[in-house]
Structure 1
Amino acid sequence: MTVALMWEARAVPGRGPDLVAWTEERVRELTRSPLRHESFRAPQDRVLVITWWDAPYDADLPELPDPDGDLVTRPVHRWRFESLGTG
């Protein structure tokens, strides 16, 4: 089974590139490597990171931590999804 972990945060205005760099460093520091990961950005300095894992839905998987409060404007949002495959 493939599980996707989604991590999304909104950077302090103008600090979007810093948050992207911070997330990339945290992905490299995970205790296990995901099958793959992808980062996205959106207006208002929002950053989204998705990691894919070959694991059961309820597996104990390493997740990106919360950044320091001076980098983000609100708490991180996290979601976990089970892949339904591709069409």
Structure 2
Amino acid sequence: MRIKFWFPAALAAIPAVLIVLVYFYGNLITKMESKKIARDYLEDHYPGQPFIVTNVAYYPGEEIYIVHIISKDGSVKAHLDVRKGKVVNDGLLEYKTN
């Protein structure tokens, strides 16, 4: 009798948990695409400067993926904000003027 109740309840809870996880942590496929977009952006705007993507985080309030980058020598640490397939904020601009 208990199995008849818990099994459908568990099946109903799985999509709800997945929706909450995607909302707070972002879609895994979109996260990978954001990483690729950031790498392409770095190659186009900063050629010859080796950067490493260290982390990709998701900010659910603005639906932005924050791509953390660091130069190979460790002197520059910055981030790029990626939203809907475009870089909307370049955290490296402050280093470009120096």
TM-score range, shorter chain: 0.3 to 0.5
Of the two structures, which has the highest relative contact order with CA contacts closer than 8 Å and spacing of 6 or more?
A: 1
Larger radius of gyration: 2
**If each structure's helix is expressed as a fraction of its own residues, which one has the higher value?**
2
Between structures 1 and 2, the one with greater strand share = 1
